[in-house]
Chains A and B, each alone.
Chain A
Amino acid sequence: MRFETHQLAQHYPLLFEGLRITLTICALSLAFGIVIGLVACFGKLRERGIAYRIAVIYIDFFRTIPEVVLIFWVYSCLPLMLSLRISAEASGVIALTLFASAYLAEIFRAGILAVPRGQIEAALALGVPSLHIWIRVILQPAIRRMMPALVSFLTELIKATSLLSAIGVAEMAYQASVLGSKTFAYVEFLSAIGVLYFIIIFPLSIYARRAERRLVSRTAN
């Protein structure tokens, strides 16, 4: 077979338009996911009470059901239940936000719980105000500690955006399959987006692995 580069040359702007949508949706659901993830994380950190129970159920539920199911549920059920019109893109962002917030909550929690008790006690004993304890003594080292997990989750989120092609969001995977079926140049377009995904995701996972190793060797000392 021949690799028909002219098909790519002719249609590449559509692929990049898809890439733009992929990255936008990723950024939005990451941002909303961080906010809701923090609320869920603090809920679960309380270890008892109503907020705790709701947070646990929320986190377990959205971590356990498949992302595709979540996407279809939000896309086809939520608009009916809320009698609202929700675009495919918005449905995608909502679904991925639910997905991301549940995973992020657990990442945040693990990072915060990894801060040694003695660090907090020392700050309390000095009379440091609680806001400053949270920022300087708990969150600052916690964020450094959770970076590998955070970046590694980001790669999962990028991969998950490709699932939005199932509900017709014009992201990268959708553009490639539409162009493929139109021109029958499946090999060219699908290979091209495969390479694009790899170029975006691979450096992130290399970073995550390196940072993880650094963290392990530092805590081992």
Chain B
Amino acid sequence: MTEGRGKRGQTVVRCVEVTKRFGSFEALRKVSVEVRAGEVVCIIGPSGGGKSTFLRTLNGLESIEEGEIHVLDVRLPAGKREIERLRREVGMVFQSFNLFLHMSVRANLTLAPTTALGLSKAEANERAKRLLTRVGIEEQIDKYPGQLSGGQQQRVAIARALAMEPKIMLFDEPTSSLDPEMVNEVLDVIRGLAESGMTMLVVTHEMGFAREVADRVLFITDGQILVDAPPAEFFGRPTDERQAAFLSKIL
């Protein structure tokens, strides 16, 4: 187990021999890994290798066939109530933003806090304003997602996840469907979040970002974690053939 940048925390995610199948296809094969509080873990690998599936098992968006996952105090697989409780403490940001298209930015940010946490409208509203200021788009609060640029939409999506005050954040290729000129505004927000000490798992193709921000880099392909190393080591001295091939293609 690698310690990152002197951060030390309890283990908040622990996967034990997790196997996920889609029909006869094994998307994850006996994956075991641990993440500690405050760590930033970047997940890298070729598409179709199981990165997103792995991330989606952590908040129960994908069920698992074998093994178990401990996230915070919940042990997966679990019942609906447990999973709902877990999801309130684990935020997720999607590649395609998935903002609620028929709701204003304000309603996007207040829906979950008011219905799941029981916040009053006013409290949720205050929180929404604060978070939108934090991601730099407070003036867009009454617009609809369709009126925003991709970068702005993704920042709203991050704010929406933060509105639940999660303990862990999952990012599923947060910049992959953005135009190049908008990638940085989103990465800046994620970077800021990392510096604030949030525990994060980020599936990404942005190698520069991973090298700079990550405490650890996981290389996932064919449903397995082949490499788990600090970024300097990961990018400096590839230990696996497939990892070397992947890096030579990308860098």
Check whether chain A touches chain B (CB < 8 angstroms). Answer: yes
Determine if B87 and A124 form an interchain contact, defined as CB atoms under 8 angstroms apart: yes
Determine if A127 and B100 form an interchain contact, defined as CB atoms under 8 angstroms apart: no
User: Could you show 24 A-B contacts with beta carbons less than 8 Å apart?
Assistant: A116-B98, A119-B100, A121-B94, A122-B98, A123-B100, A123-B112, A125-B87, A125-B94, A125-B161, A126-B87, A126-B91, A126-B111, A126-B116, A126-B161, A128-B111, A128-B112, A128-B115, A128-B116, A136-B115, A140-B102, A141-B101, A141-B102, A144-B102, A221-B146
Q: Which of B80-103 contact A (CB under 8 A)?
A: 80, 84-92, 94, 96, 98-103
Chain A residues with Cβ below 8 Å from B88 are: 126-127
Total interface residues on A, CB under 8 Å, equals 20
With contacts A124-B87, A127-B84 taken as known, whether A119 is within 8 angstroms of B98 at the C-beta atoms is yes
Interface bits A133-154 vs B (CB < 8 Å: 1, else 0): 0001100110010000000000
Interface bits B140-164 vs A (CB < 8 Å: 1, else 0): 0000001000000000010011001
B61 within 8 A of A: yes
How distant is A211 from chain B, measured CB to nearest CB, in Å?
15
Q: Which of B85, B115, B116 has the most CB of A within 10 A?
A: B115
Determine if B87 and A137 form an interchain contact, defined as CB atoms under 8 angstroms apart: no
Chain A residues with Cβ below 8 Å from B111 are: 123, 126, 128, 132, 136-137
Chain B residues with Cβ below 8 Å from A121 are: 61, 94, 98
Chain A residues with Cβ below 8 Å from B101 are: 119, 141
Q: Which of B80, B98, B99, B101 has the most CB of A within 10 A?
A: B98
Q: Which residue numbers of B lie inside 8 Å of A, CB to CB?
A: 59, 61, 80, 84-92, 94, 96, 98-103, 111-112, 115-116, 146, 157, 160-161, 164
Bound CA–CA A16/B85 (angstroms): 59
Chain B residues with Cβ below 8 Å from A66 are: none
A13 within 8 A of B: no
How distant is B50 from chain A, measured CB to nearest CB, in Å?
18
Determine if A127 and B94 form an interchain contact, defined as CB atoms under 8 angstroms apart: no
Closest 10 CB pairs of A and B: A127-B88, A127-B87, A122-B98, A126-B112, A125-B92, A118-B98, A132-B115, A141-B102, A127-B116, A128-B112
How distant is B49 from chain A, measured CB to nearest CB, in Å?
21
Bound CA–CA A127/B118 (angstroms): 12
If A122-B100, A126-B164, A132-B115 are given as contacts, then 20 extra A-B residue pairs at C-beta distance below 8 Å, sorted by A number, are A118-B94, A121-B98, A122-B99, A122-B157, A122-B160, A125-B59, A125-B87, A125-B91, A125-B161, A126-B116, A127-B88, A127-B89, A129-B84, A129-B115, A130-B80, A136-B100, A136-B115, A137-B111, A141-B101, A141-B102
